[in-house]
A and B are shown apart, each in its own frame.
Chain A
Amino acid sequence: MKTISYNDMEFVLDKTASGWEITRKQAGGASAVVAAGLFADLPDGEAEVRAEALVKTVFPVGIKSVGPDVAHPNMVGDLKIVGPDVSHPNFIYWNKDSTSFAK
């Protein structure tokens, strides 16, 4: 079993009978399964490296899920601008995102 801290989160990599399991520690001591049954045919060291890489793919730093924020329309006078609300704290501009408006 190996514990890794990453992106303000803690993950546990654990070898089980059916392969490697990744769990994410949650507030209050609970944990959630990220993946199970992985890399059963790999040597332990390689499986750990790949599990750690997988964690970083699933929980990347700097990208959060932000869709068109139509619940927070911008008003300019009487004009209602519907689309991503760039002033919303969860909005991160992504210039290849098909749902982002050009700046």
Chain B
Amino acid sequence: MEIKGSVVLVTGGGNGIGEAVAKYFSKRGAKVAIVDMVQKNIDRVVKEIKEAGGEVIGVQANVTSEAETAKFIKATLEAFGKINVAVASAGIIRDGTMLTLDKETGKVSRKMGLDKWQPVIDVNLTGTFLTLRDAAEAMVNGGWEGLLVPISSVNKVGQIGQLNYSSTKVADALMPKIIIGEFLMRGIKNIRCVGIAPGYTATPMLTGMNQDALKAILEDVHIGRLVEPDEIAAMIGHCVENGALNATTIEITGGLCNSKGIAK
């Protein structure tokens, strides 16, 4: 599929990887719909894309809501007439261990609450499901060539302190195999699905963290630096153009290894 002239929908498009994806595709001639929770982020990215000569629309929406998902799908179709690529990059973290022990008594002093569990499930898993489901519905009914892109994470292998986040990201990584299997069963041939599992990426969430902790993370990355959001966007661009990529999730980590040097 050609990027130029395609319509690309990006959730979480107001910053980080989503912003990079939106700008990458716009620079290459795609029409871009940006969805985000934060209106001021939408306003900034839409303005920058418009000033660069891009065709763009910004929609403030909550990806965990069916009604709001229907809203941004409808808005994209009204603006551009079709959807070819849906990148579900809206995601959040609420880190913490499942149990915390009191150092003196050894008894459980705190449990991970639903206040940390449920929002991560809602945004990263339910939100991805709703975005891909409704984008696929539009693609099937419209008959357009399409690509669905759930954003997983290298932490799908299981990251301490991220039981909630890793649980959603392993599920997101599995989606392409199931979705494409179902499409094959149902005779849906115009849509592919490729997941992307980024490693540690230079988004504001990571670059703003404790610099000593960041340095420790980078010691396990073979290329010795964070992955740039533009590099993630370029991988998604390749997935759009390479029609053989399908029903899989691709890691882009810069060579993330365990401390003993074994690639994760």
Contact = CB atoms under 8 A, between A and B. Distances in A.
Contact of B67 (A53, A82, A97): A97
B126 A35 contact: no
A82 to B, nearest CB: 4
Interface in A47-103: 50, 53-54, 57-58, 60, 63, 65-68, 70-71, 73, 80, 82-83, 94, 96-99
A80 B130 CA distance: 29
B19 to A, nearest CB: 15
A35 B56 contact: yes
Contact of B56 (A37, A94, A97, A99): A37
A82 B115 contact: yes
Contacts of A82: 113-115, 118
A57 B59 CA distance: 9
A35 B62 contact: no
B137 interface: no
Interface in B116-135: 118-119, 122-123, 126, 130
Given A21-B50, A99-B122, A38 B79 contact: yes
Interface residues of B, number: 38
Contacts of B115: 70-71, 73, 82
A68 B118 contact: yes
A34 B46 contact: yes
Contacts of A36: 46, 49-50, 54-57
Contacts of B62: 65-67
A31 B17 CA distance: 26
A70 B55 contact: no
A1 to B, nearest CB: 16
A43 B65 CA distance: 35
A32 interface: yes
A86 to B, nearest CB: 15
Nearest to B126: A98
Interface string B127-157: 0001000000000000000000000000000
Interface string B60-92: 111011111001001100111000000000000
A38 B49 CA distance: 13
Nearest to B123: A67
B192 interface: no
B37 interface: yes
A11 to B, nearest CB: 13
The residue in B50, B113, B122, B126 that gathers the most chain A C-beta atoms within 10 A of its C-beta is B50
Contact of A50 (B64, B65, B67, B78): B78
A70 B119 contact: yes
Interface of A: 18-19, 21, 32-38, 50, 53-54, 57-58, 60, 63, 65-68, 70-71, 73, 80, 82-83, 94, 96-99
Which 6 residue pairs of A and B lie closest in terms of their CB atoms, listed nearest first?
A37-B55, A35-B57, A36-B50, A32-B43, A65-B62, A70-B115
5 contacts: A32-B47, A33-B46, A35-B46, A37-B54, A58-B58
Given A36-B55, A58-B58, 13 more contacts: A18-B53, A33-B47, A34-B46, A34-B58, A36-B50, A36-B54, A37-B55, A38-B57, A58-B75, A60-B71, A63-B71, A65-B61, A82-B115
